[in-house]
Amino acid sequence: MANRITTPFGQAVPPAPRHAVTVHMPGWQSVQKYGADPRSVIATFSNAYPRAKPHRDIASLANMVLSHLGLTGHGCFLFSSLASAEECVGYCTSPRRADSERSPIPPDVIQIRAFKAKDPFWPVVFPSEYESVAAGFWSKPGVGVSSRFAEANLSFINQLAEASISYQVESRPSFETAKHETIRERIISYLERATLQPTVPKPSSNDVFLFPTGMASIYKPHTYLSHLHNGTTILFGMAFMDTVTAFQEFGSGFKFFGLGSDEDLLALEVFLREERSQGRKVQAIWAEFPANPILVTPDLVRLRALADDYDVILAVDDTIGSYANVDITHMTDILVTSLTKSFNGYADVIAGCAILNPTSRHYNTLKTLFNARYVPELYVDDVEALERNSRDYLTRTRKLNHNAKSLVDYLRTCSEDRNSAVHRVHYPSVNSSGKHYRQFMRRETPEFTPGYGCLFSVEFDDIQTTEAFYNNLNVHNSVHLGAPFTLAFAYTACTYAKKLDWAASYGLKPTQIRVTAGLEDTNLLLEDFRIAVEAANQVRSQPGH
Ligand SMILES: *[C@@H]1O[C@H](CO)[C@@H](O)[C@H](O)[C@H]1NC(C)=O
Ligand SMILES: *[C@@H]1O[C@H](CO)[C@@H](O)[C@H](O)[C@H]1NC(C)=O
Ligand SMILES: *[C@@H]1O[C@H](CO)[C@@H](O)[C@H](O)[C@H]1NC(C)=O
């Protein structure tokens, strides 16, 4: 058995570098607390996922700004572009922020300031009582400054001064460096590697747009698209929880086909036909490939055909499949990826990218749109770390694939035993929608055999057995994926605790534990899982259970 985990609640998963993006929420007790009141639990984290709350370096820089302004009783969020600061104000003051707990921030009490330590940034300042409204913008779009940005500026804090708001057009050398180009070229080389379509032109580096987070790589293109037309945004299949919320909170209309099944494709076509007959334009269709957290893979061939028939843009998120395993660029108009995950691989940088497919019929429109709207916001220090970390992306992905597959095979065997508490496993290799995944797996080469990625979900008979498994599994509990360490997370029980019926209608259950395999020794991992499964089996076999 691997060493017993002793990381305290609310701290980063070891080795926990300064910019770690994880937080450990040990055991079922944390699940219940988080499900009941996520905001109060997040407030107690000493290290949080960067979008959940600002990193301590960012909080320090924000406090410096507030004291420079002589403001008490105020909060402030920092942005590295005026555009993002303006979007924050638009969000906070929108009538859509009115709900049972909150009301929009009155426009006369929220303001954008401009500051400069060496280069500029734009704080959005508001009275503290509106913190929870503004926090919604910090946590979903993911366009705030990064912790490395704050760290760099803190070391020059004696130069902190207010600047002119319109300081925008001058060059911002920290956001476009040779390292940024290296990353774009590296991404292109992974897209070209072992491709299924050697004769189809691939994107070039100027088709790759870098963003400060994976969520920003969805949110920003989503907002750009509203400048083409304001139509309904479609999400086909389940997606990461913040993606679902982002489409609900931003844009003009959202339609969700959350099973992502072949039946949903029929319903989608009915919807597209209806919109067309009403003379309404659909803004875009989005999908994950495969989808978080139960790994249903959409039928991309039919989605592409529908998008073409109804002249709709198709944007696909391949974060879970990952570049090394799947080759889908040619099926998309926009390919988006969270580089925070397996690409970076060390759980200490956040970044994302959106790529335009040069063979798409919408390419010229999208390229013009992106070039007009895009503001670089990914900070040089983050890019430098990303560049170092992504050098071994292929080697790591091979191990992540192998560990996930080994655990899935073991758990699948358990599920076939009538006496086991393991009910089923969700992974593309064991689901009928896996055929849609295999269709786009890259070619095998001597250096790399494509697999199904690091993420799977294991489902138990009931809550008692789920809890026993969770409490006895010797891995960290956190939301991240693609890290060196294996993570288990009670995804549905935590994030949809107040909407379990809604989640259940899309196949998500609190008895499912999302697991993301890490780089540990395979046999040690299998042994840890065996111990946890036995604990669950024991509960199941107790009299009266
Ligand atoms: C502050 O961040 C900016 C990015 O806007 C960066 O270019 C600059 O070097 C940082 N300032 C200092 C003083 O480090
Ligand atoms: C869509 O709505 C946004 C926000 O209301 C607006 O800025 C944009 O101009 C609209 N786009 C079109 C094409 O009408
Ligand atoms: C595939 O996954 C979906 C969603 O979890 C489920 O409804 C379906 O039964 C699965 N099919 C197989 C063959 O496992």
Asked if residue 365 has its Cβ within 6 Å of ligand 2, the reply is: no
* Ligand of minimum distance to the alpha carbon of 230: 2
Q: How many CA atoms lie within 13 A of 318 on its CB side?
A: 30
Radius of gyration of the chain from Cα atoms? 23
Indicate the domain borders of the chain. Answer: 28-47+392-541, 56-162, 178-390
- CA–CA distance, 20 with 347 (Å, rounded to integer): 6
Ligand 3 binding pocket includes 397 (Cβ within 6 Å): no
**Does 499 sit in the ligand 1 pocket, CB within 6 Å?**
no
Choice from 223, 224, 230 to test ligand 2 binding pocket (greatest atom count within 8 A of CB): 230
Q: 28-47+392-541 falls under which CATH superfamily?
A: Aspartate Aminotransferase, domain 1 (3.90.1150.10)
Question: Quick one: pLDDT at residue 174?
Answer: 87
- What Å distances lie between residue 440 and 119, 372, 437, CA to CA? 44, 32, 6
Q: What is the pLDDT of residue 458?
A: 98
Which atom of ligand 2 sits closest to the CA of residue 230?
1
**CATH of the structural domain 178-390, one choice from 3.40.640.10, 3.10.20.30, 1.10.10.10, 3.20.20.140:** 3.40.640.10
Token pair recorded at residue 255: 């339609």
End-to-end CA distance of the chain: 29
Q: If you ran DSSP here, which 8-state letter would residue 19 be given? A: T
Minimum-distance ligand 1 atom for the alpha carbon of 379: 4
Under DSSP, is residue 333 helix (H, G, I), strand (E, B) or coil? coil
Three-state SS at 310 = coil
Cα 466-471-477 angle, rounded to 5 deg = 95
Cβ–ligand 1 contact at 149 (below 6 Å): yes
Distance from C-alpha of 333 to C-alpha of 359, rounded to nearest angstrom: 8
- The residue written with tokens 């990303």 in the block is 386
> What is the whole-number distance in angstroms between the Cα of residue 256 and the centre of ligand 2?
22
Cα 408 to Cα 113, 380, 482: the distances in Å are 51, 38, 16
Tell me, in angstroms, the distance from the centre of ligand 3 to residue 369's CA: 38
Counting every residue written for the chain, the total comes to 545
- Determine the Cα–Cα distance for residues 508 and 11; give it in Å rounded to an integer: 28
* CB-neighbour burial class of residue 371 (10 A; exposed 0-12, middle 13-18, buried 19+): exposed
Same CATH topology for 28-47+392-541 and 178-390?
A: no
Cis amide leading into 107 (omega within 30)? no
Ligand nearest to the CA of 293: 3
Q: Is the CB of 296 under 6 A from ligand 3?
A: yes
Question: What sign results for the dihedral spanned by CA atoms 356, 357, 358, 362?
Answer: negative
24: its two tokens: 């450990």
Which pLDDT value is given to residue 5?
A: 95
Nearest to 185 by CA among 207, 163, 160, 155: 207
Residue 61 CA, ligand 2 centroid: distance in Å: 34
* Ligand 2 centroid from CA 226, angstroms: 6
Burial of 270 (0-12, 13-18, 19+ CB in 10 A): exposed
CA of 80 to the centre of ligand 1 (A): 10
Which of 430, 433, 436, 491 is the pocket-test mutation for ligand 3 (most atoms within 8 Å of CB)?
A: 433
pLDDT in tens, the chain (545 residues): 568 999 999 999 999 999 999 999 999 999 999 999 999 999 999 999 999 999 999 999 999 999 999 999 999 999 999 999 999 999 999 999 998 888 999 999 999 999 987 668 999 999 999 999 999 999 999 999 999 999 988 877 888 888 877 655 456 888 999 999 999 999 999 999 999 999 999 999 999 999 999 999 999 999 999 999 899 999 999 999 999 999 999 999 999 999 999 999 999 999 999 999 999 999 999 999 999 999 999 999 999 999 999 999 999 999 999 999 999 999 999 999 999 999 999 999 999 999 999 999 999 999 999 999 999 999 999 999 999 999 999 999 999 999 999 999 999 999 999 999 999 999 999 999 999 999 999 999 999 999 999 999 999 999 999 999 999 999 999 999 999 999 999 999 999 999 999 999 999 999 999 999 999 999 999 999 999 999 999 999 998 78
Q: Residue 160 has what pLDDT?
A: 87
Q: Given this model, what pLDDT does residue 100 score?
A: 83
Please work out whether the CB of residue 156 comes within 6 Å of at least one atom of ligand 1. Answer: yes
Residue 229 near ligand 2, beta carbon < 6 Å = yes
CB within 8 A of 543, min separation 6: which ones? none
pLDDT computed for residue 495 by the predictor:
95
